[in-house]
Structure 1
C-alpha cells in the first residue's frame, strides 16, 4: 500500500489550479442545489465523497493538512514530493558565483589601492619639508608625534618648499606624474616645461585679531573670511613677497586659522605589462593644509590626495590588446550572469514569502470565522509564515545588484567608486555565507546549535541591554575624568573602543602606563576605575553570558528528549491528524534528518517515518502537489 502511494507521488499528481474563493460558496456539484455562505478566501479543497454518496468541502481539514505540510522540515517536503532540492542548489551556485566575482574584484582593487596609497606617500616625500619614512607609521601606537612647524621661518620655508617642488615635479619625481593641462587637446610630444603650473592658495582667518598677552588684552572680530587666489609657480617664488606685492598684506598668526595649497597632478599606472590589464589614468587632487586653529604655537601640517579615473588616450605598439579586452568582456559577462542569478533569487524569495503570506491570511480568516470563541492570533504566532532567511536573502540580492552595476561602471571607467562597490559586494558576500547556515540546520547535529542560539538569544539581548547601561556609565565617566590625561580616553569614540578592547584583554598594560598626570587623585581614580571595570565585565558579565547559553543548550536537549513545546498553530494543524507508529508527534517531521537524505532526497530511500505518514494521512497524500 505504502509502496504504491510513494510511486504515485513520485510520478506526480497534477496540481489543482484552484483559485481562492472570492464568491459565495457553491455546492451545486454535489446535490444540484446552491447554498450560500459568507464570502471566504480559503483555498478551495478538492471534493470528497462521504459514505452516503454526497459531496462535501471540508475547509478545516484541508487547511490543517496544508498547514502541516507548511510546518514540515524542507527535507521531509523534498522526500514527500520526491523532487531534487533545486532551490537549495541554486543558492549554492549563486554563492559560488558571487564569491568568484568578489575575488576577481578584490584582485583588481588591490592594484588600484596599492597605486593610490604609494602615490600618496610619494607626494608626502615630494612636497612636505622634512618628511621621512619614520612618519609613515600606523595611527597607534605612534612612533612619533604630529608633523608640525613651530617657528615663523619653518612655516615660510615649508610653503616655499612645496611650491618649488611642485614647479620642478617632472624633473625630480621618479613617478609618471605631470601637470594638469587646461588645453582641450594634447599631443604626445607636448613639452611639460612650457605648461603653466597653477596652485590655489587659500587663507582662512579672522577679519580682525589683535592681542596683547602682557596685559591679557585682545581685539577680535570672530567673523572669518576665506581668501583664495591662483598663483603660477616659479623657481624664485616666495610667499612673503607674493602676499605683500599682490595682496598688500602679511601673515598674521593671531587671525590665521589655516592655510591650504591645492593643485592637480596627472598620473598613469603601467601595470608591468601584466596580462589582462591595460594602463589606468588618474587625476590627483592634492591638498596641503597648515592648521593653526589651536593657536598653541604648533601649526600642524598634513597632506591629503584624492584620485579619480580619467580616460586614457591609448596607443599600444607591438601589443596584442585583444586578450586584455577579452578579459574585460569576460568580467562583464560574469557580472551580467551575477545580475541574472540575483534577480532570479530575488523573485524566488518573494514568491516563497507570498505563499507564506497567503497561507497566513487563510489561517487568520479561518480563526475569525470558525473560531470566534478563541483569542486572535498574535504577531509572534504568525511570524512562522515569514521566514527571516528569505528576508536575509532579499537584502543580499538588493546589495548585489547595485554593487555589480557600480563594478561594471568601474570596468568601463565610468566611475571609480571602489569603496561603494566593495562595501556592497562585501556585505552581500557576508550575508550570502550566513545564509548557508540555513541549509546546515537541516542536519540534526547542526540544527541543535541553531536551536540553542535562537532559544538563548532573547535572554542574552535583555542581559546585554542591562550591561550596556553600565558600560555607558563607565564610558562617560572615563572620558570626562581621564580624557585630559590619557590619549586612549581623549574622545568618546576612543573611550568606547578602549573599554571594549579591555573586555577582550587587549593592550592592558599600556592603558595603565600611559596616564600622563602628577595628580595622586587622578592616579588613584584610574586604578579603581580600570580594575573595577575589568573585573565586572570579564569575570561577571562574560561569565553570565556563557551561563545563559549553557542554560539554553540544556533546555534544547530536554526538548529533543521530551518534545518541543507546541504553538497554537501546531496544535491546530494536528487536530484530527492520524497517528502512526515511529513518530511521537508531528514535531518529529519538523526536525532535521540524515546528510544523504538532505542532499539527495530524490535518490535516497524514503524514511520509514514518512512512509507511515503517507499511509495514515490520506488527505495530505492526495493533495500534496496542491500545496506550495
Structure 2
C-alpha cells in the first residue's frame, strides 16, 4: 500500500516543484523531518526519471527530444542539398578532365589510360610540341631532348558550370590547375588538381550529421525493449577494448612481416597501408583466392614462406580472433538477457 500511495503521489498532476501550495498544518518536528526526507526522495526520483515518465507524472513535455528531432531534420536537409551540389561538381570535374586529356594528350582515345608511353626521341619531341602548341599559343620554347630528364608544364584554366542554370542558380566558376609532365621513363600524364574546398566541408558536415543521428540513441534507452543495443555495447566495451589491444599487437606483427618479405613479390604488399588493407580484407573473407594467385615469388623459399604466412594469418584471425570477438558480444547479451528475466548473474560482465 505504501508503494502504491507513493506512485499515486508521484504520478498525480498536482502543482510542480517550486510552486506555491496550500499552507501546511502545524505538525510535530519529527513528522516534519520525515516529510522533508520524503519530499527530497521524491524529487530525486523525479530527477532521474525518463522524459516519458516525467510527462506521465507531471505533464512535462520532452522539449529536448523535440529540439533533437528538429536538429536532425535541419542538418539532414543541409546534407542532402550539399550532396546534390557536390554531385554536380564531381560530374563537372570528370567531364573537364576527359576534355583536358583529349586536348593535351596527342592521340588520346576514350577508355584508354591517361599515362602514355613514349619510346623514341621523335615521339617525345612530337608530344611536347603538341602540348606546348596548345598552351603557349605562338610563344617559342626551346628544349634539348638528349639531355632531357623531366619536363613539367603547369597552367591554369578557368571554367564556368552552366548546368546550375537549370536549377535557377547562379553559375559556379572554377579554376583548374592542370599538370602535363614528361618523366624520365617517357610517360606523359595529365592530372587536374583539386579546385575547391569540398573535401573539408564534406568531412565536417558528414561527421556532424553522423553525430546528430547517433545522439538519438540516448532517447531509445528510455524504452527497455529498444535499449538492448546500448546496454550490450556498454557492458561489452571494456572486454572488447582489452581484447582488441592484444589482437592489435599480433596484427601489426603480421603487417610488418608481410611488408618486408612479400612487398617485392606481391602487388598488395607494396606499402604498409596496402598490407593492412589486404590483411583486413582477408579477415573478412574477401579476395582470398586472388591474394594467393597474385603472389609472384622469385624462389621456392619465398613461396614457402608466403604459404605459411597467409595460411597462418587466415586460420588465426578467422577461426580464433573473430570467434572470440563474437563470443564476447554474445556473452554480454546473454548476461543482460538473464538479468532482465531476474536470473542471477554468474559472469564478470554483470552491471
Which residue matches 2:215?
A: 435
Other-structure match for 1:252: 147
- Does 1:290 find its partner at 2:182? yes
- Contact 1:49/1:56, CA 8 A, preserved across alignment: no
Are positions 1:547 and 2:315 aligned together? no
Conservation of the 8 A alpha-carbon contact between 1:488 and 1:494: yes
Residue of structure 2 in register with 1:158 after alignment:
127
Given the alignment, which residue of 242, 262, 273 partners 1:462?
242
CA-to-partner distance for each residue in 1:507-564, whole Å, 9 max, x for gaps?
1122111112331111111111111111111111111111111110111122213389
Structure 1: how far apart are the matches of 2:41 and 2:334? 32
User: Is residue 2:55 matched to residue 1:78?
Assistant: yes
CA distance in 2 between partners of 1:516 and 1:259 (Å): 34
Distance apart, 1:64 and its partner CA: 5.4
CA contact (8 A) 2:152 2:180 kept: yes
Cα deviation code 1:408-464 (max 9, x no counterpart): xxxxxxxx4222221111111111221222222222222122211211111111111
Distance 1:4 1:459 in 2: 42
**Is residue 263 from structure 1 mapped to residue 160 from structure 2 by the alignment?**
no
Return the alpha-carbon distance in structure 2 between the equivalents of residues 430 and 154 of structure 1: 53
- Partner of 2:348 in structure 1? none
Structure 2: tracts of 5 or more residues without a match: 346-350
| Structure 1 residues 60 and 469, CA gap change in structure 2 (3 angstroms) | farther
Residues 1:120 and 2:73 aligned together = no
1:343-492 correspondence to structure 2 within 5 Å: 416-492=196-272
Q: 1:513 aligns with which of 269, 290, 293?
A: 293
Aligned residue for 1:263, secondary structure, equals: strand
Shift of 1:81: 2.2
Q: Is the 1:271–1:278 Cα contact (8 Å) retained in structure 2?
A: no
Matched, 1:523 2:303: yes
Q: Residues 533, 422 of structure 1: CA spacing in aligned structure 2 closer, same or farther, 3 A cutoff?
A: same
Local SS of the residue matching 1:243: coil
1:342-362 per-residue CA deviation (whole Å, 9 max, x = no partner) reads xxxxxxxxxxxxxxxxxxxxx
Contact 1:50-1:56 within 8 A present in 2 as well: no
Once the two structures are superposed, residues 571-610 of structure 1 have per-residue CA deviations (whole angstroms, 9 ceiling, x without a partner) of: xxxxxxxxxxxxxxxx9xxxxxxxxxxxxxxxxxxxxxxx
Q: Secondary structure at the match of 1:92?
A: helix
TM-score (norm 1): 0.49
Q: Cα–Cα, structure 1 residues 81 and 284, in superposed 2: closer, same or farther, change >3 Å?
A: same
Cα distance, 1:263–1:52 mapped onto 2, change above 3 Å? closer
Q: Is contact 2:265-2:298 (8 Å) kept?
A: no
Q: Tell me if the contact between 1:163 and 1:233 (Cα under 8 Å) persists in the aligned partners.
A: yes
* Equivalent-residue separation in structure 2 for 1:419 and 1:462 (angstroms): 34
Larger Rg: 1
- Give 1:124-139 correspondences, 5 Å limit: 124-136=101-113
Q: Distance in 2 between matches of 1:437 and 1:105?
A: 25
Q: Name 1:582's counterpart in structure 2.
A: none
Secondary structure in 1 aligned to 2:158? strand
Cα deviation code 1:287-313 (max 9, x no counterpart): 112333xxxxx24432222365xxxxx
- Does structure 2 retain, via aligned residues, the 8 Å contact 1:116–1:307? no
Unaligned runs of 5+ in 1: 18-46, 138-145, 167-231, 245-249, 293-297, 309-415, 566-586, 588-628
CA contact (8 A) 1:127 1:165 kept: yes
Q: Distance in 2 between matches of 1:54 and 1:534?
A: 72
Query: How many residues are aligned here?
Result: 339
Q: Judge conservation of contact 2:154–2:177 (CA < 8 Å) in 1.
A: yes
Query: Would you tell me which structure has more strand in proportion to its own residues?
Result: 1
> RMSD of the alignment, in Å?
3.3
